[in-house]
Amino acid sequence: MTTDINRIRIDIGVCTYRRPELEQTLRSLAKMTVPGNAEIRIIVADNDDSPSAKGRVDAIRASVPHAIVYLHCPSSNISIARNACLDNARGDFLAFIDDDETASKDWIVRLIETALTTGADAVLGPVKATYGTDAPGWMQRGDFHSTFPVWVGEQIVTGYTCNVLLRLAAPSLAGRHFNLALGRSGGEDTEFFTHMHRMGGKIAYAPAAWVEEPVPAKRATFSWLAKRKFRFGQTHGRLIDAGTGAAGKIRALALAAAKSGFCALAGVILFFSPVRRNRYALRASMHAGVVVGLLGVREIEQYGAAEARSS
């Protein structure tokens, strides 16, 4: 696949699992601005045991001005769905958006604009969380659910799939797939982009390419955030362990344990400042996850069937 300046083919992957919000996601893609030289195709990868999203997709086809490819790729493992999007993409670029998100009007324009300007292998955009009235005040004030890139110095060294554009011909993405072993715990995207970056892939950021994501009540809790941070730490710890020797592992363990202890203490000291207290407590959970990941403990199951059981 080669990018022709006169014609750009863009696939948009939407992995879905029993979410009626998928309809709103597809409607937002129907309304977004498309570059004049671009052709859009949407890939819906249904990760349910049965093809539960097919009827919803078929019902909306007529109101979406882009081709929609429906794939049934069971089951309850997000990596299977993400890999189906990769394997069935035919464009120059593949974007991912979650099935509970809505794209801003200029979403794909800004992602493509940044990709062409920077030559990056992947471009991340921000995810803006929207809270219901039942969300705790500290959570809304601190905006704990929005997603932005993490910078290390002047580089982004890993990424996420809730708002990203991939240049499919990039050497760092050749033959790359999401790890099936992480498809129920999460962390498959962190691993994917970390290895991509280690292979020389450049990750850029398009701050104007935002999508919006409502926070459901079951996620608007400290415990959900703590589990998410802990799992992220586990993945990070495992990736550190894979790239270092025994001495490096011991240093990483000591550093992560010290950071977890410091953040926990800071959370206690800031007990009467809920936003700062909980931010430190969540960082303590993340660093504790790094320790556990370095010790080889597998990531906790948090998504797919596990999340459905908890709802």
What is the reported pTM? 0.92
User: Mean pLDDT score of the chain, rounded to an integer?
Assistant: 93
CATH code at 8-217: 3.90.550.10
CB of 191 closer than 8 Å to CB of 179:
yes
- Alpha-carbon gap, residue 268 to 217, rounded angstroms: 26
What is the per-residue pLDDT across 128-139, written as a single tens digit (0 to 9) for each?
A: 999 999 999 999
What is the per-residue pLDDT across 282-300, written as a single tens digit (0 to 9) for each?
A: 999 999 999 999 998 877 6
Closest CA to 78 of 228, 225, 185: 185
Distance set, CA 215 to CA 103, 104, 283 (Å): 16, 17, 20
Residues in the chain: 311
pLDDT at 42 exceeding the cut of 90? yes
Residue with tokens 């999401």, as numbered in its chain: 178
* H or E segment to which residue 205 belongs: strand 203-205
- How large is the average pLDDT for residues 162-173? 98
Look up residue 183 and give its two tokens.
């498809």
CATH 3.90.550.10 residue ranges of the chain are 8-217
- How large is the average pLDDT for residues 92-114? 98
> Which pairing describes strands 38-46 and 8-16: parallel, antiparallel, or unpaired?
parallel
- Alpha-carbon gap, residue 138 to 74, rounded angstroms: 38
